[in-house]
Amino acid sequence: MPQVVEAYGQRLEFPDDMSREQMAAAIKANAPKLMSAAGVNPADDMSTAERTLAGVGSGMSSVVRALGGGSLLAKFGLPATKEEAQDIDAPLMGSTAGKVGRVIGAAAPALPTMLIPGVNTYAGASLVGAGTGAAFTEGGAMDRLGGAAFGGIGGLAGKGLGDALGAGARFAGSKMAAGRAAQQTANAQRDAAINTARGAGYVIPPADVRGSFMNELLGGLSGKIKTAQVASARNQGTTNDLARRALGLADDAPLSPDALQAFRNTAASSGYAPIRAAGEITADASYSKALDAIAGQYQGAARSFPGAAKNAVLDMVEGLKQSKFDAGDALDMVKVLRESADKAYRAGDSGLGKASKAAASAIEDQIERHLKDAGDAAAMAAFRRARQDIAKSYSVQKAVNPATGDVSAQSLSRELSKGRPLSGELRTIAEVGSAFPKATQTLKESPKAISPLDFLSGGGLAALSGNPMALATIGARPAARSLLLSKGYQGLLARPPSYAPGILELGLPGLESQYLGRIAPGLLAANLSQQ
């Protein structure tokens, strides 16, 4: 009596002498036909990824069969013939993912063909394609001959495709590189200021550095005005430290007028005092030219308006026009002129103040040239160093608040914009102040950790939502400010972009025709031969 078994919604009859294992093998072998008859598609229960992977396996199996490996596939329970595979793969090939996977699977074994010499020529691509097509085609001699024909066409098409894509890749790569270079050039000054600020120890609100989504989001949450104030409070200490470093002062040294005057006295004693023994100095043409430049605008007025134009500047210049003078007397004159400049500035006479400072510099320049001509290199170096130190001290004094001892970065920034020859740490302060005025502003008082606006934002949200837990957001704004100005965040997102080539740009050279022209023939031929 026959054995009756249900499978895939159908009643199947088997001889009574068949074992269960034999019946199971028969059902498995005929599963595609049984499923098709019952209207069952096994691919319906597969995900897109599973269909793609199954398609890859199908494509690779077809190549193995074409190369004579059908018996090997059978050992692993895979279809050994083209006909068996067609029945099994039919449901899978009804899906896009399955078809894509099969293309990939059939193409993968063709990759070694790119190593064949001459494959990067149209003749070579055609031969490689024909060989690949013949080798990868299942069936008899006529089937393989057809595969060779399709493969040859695929090789030619692949070479043409490789050339076209390579040209496009080179064009795209050059455009990307040009865009990067243009952006880097446009941002060069800004990026230099950012690096200067970071190197000096300043903190900058990240939104002022790079307008990324995260910077703008956290900047809005923290409150941009408040964040700038908190940054300024932190940066004030950095500015003061840099000013002390510029003068070679200790970290805790005061920056008061008296302290700065004491600094100048020390500098003068080391660099100026030895000059008193330098003897008589003969004024040269450069000295006369410097004095004429000081009096220039007043001399023109005096020619037409002799009575009205007579002023202290012309009188001072006339008194300084000496052919020879004693080195010690010259130093005394420099001191008088600098004191006159300070007095004139305090009185609001900036013209006289500027002229007096320029006259003092003219005398000092003449002293320096005298020392050089005399061959006294040590005295000249000490004198030059003292001049620089004294000039720096005056710049600091002009920028310092005598009540607080804080140095104004904005004051030094204005000096730099007027052409003041600042250098070293003072120039750094001025450049950072110019680039980031909001982050280096002078504050009347230190900002509170939590501002009234922080309370209002949290309280307002609680009132609108009716949820007292919203009051917890009061701490969100200070927390955001702390994060933005933290060392870690400043190091990652408050710095200029690298302008390094992106992943896509780095990958484009690999798409040049010499590579695509090698890869594409074999891949395209392998897939055409499977059709």
Residues with pLDDT less than 50, the chain: 309, 455, 458-467, 469-471, 510-513
Enumerate residues 6+ apart whose C-beta is below 8 A from 224: 205, 207
Nearest 10 degrees: CA dihedral of 37, 39, 40, 43?
110
Rounded distance, CA 276 to CA 367, Å? 11
Which has the closest alpha carbon to 372: 472, 275, 443? 275
Do 490 and 496 form a contact (C-beta atoms < 8 A)? no
Enumerate residues 6+ apart whose C-beta is below 8 A from 204: 194, 197, 198, 231, 436, 439, 490, 494
Confidence at residue 461, expressed as pLDDT on a 0 to 100 scale:
45
Query: In this structure, what token pair is assigned to residue 432?
Result: 């950072």
Element containing residue 6 per DSSP (H, E): strand 3-7
Strands (E), 266-306: 280-282
Domain ranges of the chain: 22-104, 116-181+508-528, 233-440
At 108 the three-state DSSP class reads helix
Confidence at residue 528, expressed as pLDDT on a 0 to 100 scale:
55
Rounded distance, CA 55 to CA 104, Å? 8
Confidence at residue 103, expressed as pLDDT on a 0 to 100 scale:
64
Q: Which residues pair with 3 in a beta bridge?
A: 14
Do 12 and 56 form a contact (C-beta atoms < 8 A)? no
Phi and psi of 14, rounded to 5°?
-130, 150
Query: In this structure, what token pair is assigned to residue 415?
Result: 């000096």
